[in-house]
Amino acid sequence: MNIFRWAGLLLLLLPIISYSQTGKGISIEPTIHIGEILKHTPNLLFSVENISAGIELNFTNKKYGKKAWHQQLKYPKGGVALFYYNLGNNKLFGQSIGIVPNITFSVFSIKKLDSSFQLGWGLAYVSKRFDPIDNPQNNALGSNFNSINTFKYQIGYRLTPSWKVNLGASFTHYSNGASQLPNFGINIPALAIGAVFTPIPIEKEDIIQHDLEKLTTRWGVSVHLDLAYRELKPAGGPSYPFYVASLSAVYRLSAVQELSLGIDYEYNKSLYVFGLHTTTFRSESEARRASTRLGIFLADEFLFGNVGLFGQLGTYIPGYNRNTRFFLYTKLAMRYYMPPFGKPKTKFYIGLYLKSHKVTAEYLAIGIGARL
């Protein structure tokens, strides 16, 4: 079934699905994505000859002030999207299906015209992966199950109180964080054309305003320990742990946004083992030092109740980055915070971290941490 048949089916089902939703501010948002796989590194073995086309069906819930953070973040939308993508080459990549929790922020709204930015992170199944015999050219993905990250900017025009059309651009990223090689990842910039149907729109009089409390404590400390696994080259080799520790000072700009300045420690066990076996290093102490990296970073985190979205930009300390030719790195994370307790009040959290150099993922880690 091609992309246009999928689109026609969704449009036929749209009224039935939408009218079954009775909650205020709940919407269904179908979007068509038309783009092309980006060859972001010359190491990719395949050529890009066809377009990649996808269908997104996003079920969203507009926040209107039931909690204070809704107001502080200008009433965003929370959503869960179902994704289908024909990646453009059935022999190499096949198709992908995924589920992506997401959040949408309003950029501006002027009469019938508005603009928004959406972030999503979920899990996708890609039907074709690298195989040294049957599919050797697909060195983008070494596994069928992958992390999927989505970014979308769109401008909308409201036709009626319940209907809106959108036009924008999207970027979709697939990666397994090098847990299975090869893992250069798939990146798809695309044109996004969509619609929004809201059976019961939120009116101005529905918005709940809060008397926001002023912050009494702005400074804090955060520490977390993370664990990832990376496969040793070549593809199909053994997996070794990647240990990460982070310590940072935290400054609260508001109840929903925090800045962090800190230091990262990383230890790559696979590099240690590989270096000793190939006699790259003359001793175990040299191997341990070469397998260790230190970086300093600046991070920004937005808090949605108990959930935090965390973005980080870092650079390596000279002398502690021997195992990479990149001097900058980024991290995207999603954290879930437990209720605070004790004196001083401490919030423990669990987090999922995706680290990248440019647009190539290095690892996908899970960790635990504490925020004082």
What confidence score (pLDDT) does residue 350 get?
95
Same domain assignment for residues 171 and 258: no
Domain-terminating residue out of 206, 235, 260: 206
pLDDT reported for residue 281: 67
The mean pLDDT value for 140-158 works out to: 94
Please tell me the predicted confidence (pLDDT) of residue 42.
83
The answer to whether position 94 is within a domain reads yes
Same domain, 195 and 278: no
Residue 317 maps to which CATH number? Answer: 2.40.160
Selected residue with higher pLDDT from 247 and 40: 247
187 in the same domain as 131: yes
- From residue 233, alpha-carbon distances to 26, 73, 230 in Å are 47, 44, 9
Q: Which two tokens stand for residue 214?
A: 């002023």
| Assigned domain for 130 exists | yes
Percent of the chain past pLDDT 90, that is, above it, reads: 53
Q: Are residues 197 and 289 part of one domain?
A: no
Domain presence at residue 193: yes
Same domain, 104 and 232: no
213 lies in a domain? no
pLDDT higher than threshold 60 for residue 16: no
13-26 average pLDDT score: 58
Place of tokens 């915070």: 337
Instruction: Answer yes or no: do 241 and 196 share one domain.
Output: no
Mean pLDDT over the full length of the chain: 86
Residues 302 and 339 in one domain: yes
Phi/psi for 12 (5° steps) reads -70, -35
Same domain, 169 and 264: no
* 211 inside domain: no
> 362, 213, 237: which is closest to 295 by C-alpha?
362
Residue by residue, DSSP assigns 218-245 as: -EEEEEEEEEEEEEPTTTT--EEEEEEE
Same domain, 79 and 202: yes
Whole-number pLDDT of residue 231: 75
- Are residue 190 and residue 227 in the same domain, yes or no? no
Say yes or no to pLDDT of 20 above 80.
Answer: no
CATH of the domain at 152: 2.40.160.20
pLDDT at residue number 279: 59
One-letter amino acid at 355 equals K
Confidence band for 269, pLDDT divided at 50, 70 and 90: confident
Do both 169 and 270 map to the same domain?
A: no
Task: Kindly state the tokens that stand for 290.
Answer: 């070469």
Segment 272-323, tens digit of pLDDT = 776 666 656 667 777 777 788 999 999 999 999 899 999 999 999 987 776 6
The pLDDT score that the predictor gives to residue 313 is 96
Confidence of residue 12 (pLDDT cuts 50, 70, 90): very low
Per-residue confidence (pLDDT) for residue 255, from 0 to 100: 87
Arithmetic mean of pLDDT, 171-197:
90
Q: Which of 43-47, 109-113, 267-271, 285-289 has the highest mean pLDDT?
A: 109-113
Strand partners, 124: 98, 146
pLDDT of residue 275: 65
pLDDT on residue 1: 42
The yes-or-no verdict on residue 8 having pLDDT over 90 is no
The pLDDT confidence band at residue 243, using thresholds 50, 70 and 90, is: very high
Residue 267 belongs to a domain:
yes
**Looking at the 3D structure of the chain, how many domains does it have?**
2
Question: Which domain range does residue 245 map to?
Answer: 219-371
Alpha helices (H) along the chain: 3-19, 68-72, 269-277, 284-290
In a domain, 212, yes or no: no
User: Do 128 and 184 belong together in one domain?
Assistant: yes
Domain termination site, one of 206, 239, 271 = 206
322 assigned to some structural domain: yes
| Domain end among 206, 238, 257 | 206
